[in-house]
Amino acid sequence: MWTASLRQLPNLITLVRMVLIAPIVAALLHAQFSAAMIMIGAATVSDGADGFLAKRFGWQTRLGALLDPAADKLLIAALFVTLAIQGVVPAWLTAVVLGRDLVIVLGAGVWRVRFGPTEIRPSPVSRLNTLCQLGFVLCVVCRSRFALPAAGVVTALGAAVFLTSVISGLDYGIRGVHRARSLQ
């Protein structure tokens, strides 16, 4: 009984991350940067925790395979759009981040129509991209509240977000094309 319940723990953690999105956006819009940083930090930790628990204990589920990337994409999109509206994240960088995710989602949809269901596994560069995005957002929010870290650190993280977004987007595309060719 406990084992069956524990098996759902990663999914519960992912759902909590999704529920945090609205309060994080509200905190940012009301300039409650300390609260936003705490919640973004919790969401970041939860992103690692759910995956670790699922893999470590064999608690992977089909639901989790869908929820986890959806939670990541929704959180990242909400953060970047909110911060772009506030003028603290460049609109062009937000467009790159959202464009990458849109291309991945559209590619997965085309794959499903053409070849059937598939499991998209994030590559190491994609995981690095998510980490860079969340680190960048945390630094931007922290800088809005405490004037730290230095502007150069935020700029460097922004550059890392741009580079990892482009590289991971290309990686997904190239892997998808190679896989599609092998099926034809």
Q: In whole angstroms, how far apart are CA 20 and each of 15, 79, 99, 144?
A: 9, 11, 23, 20
pLDDT in tens, 122-165: 889 998 999 999 999 999 999 998 999 999 999 999 999 999 99
List, in order of start, the domains of the chain with CATH numbers: 2-183 (1.20.120.1760)
pLDDT at 71 over 90: yes
For the purposes of burial, counting CB atoms within 10 Å of the CB of 64, is it exposed (0-12), middle (13-18) or buried (19 or more)?
buried
The pLDDT, as a whole number, for residue 111 is 86
pLDDT in tens, 101-120: 999 889 888 888 988 887 77
* Mean pLDDT (whole number) for 63-71: 89
Half-sphere exposure of 129 (CA within 13 A, CB side): 25
Place of tokens 């990686």: 171
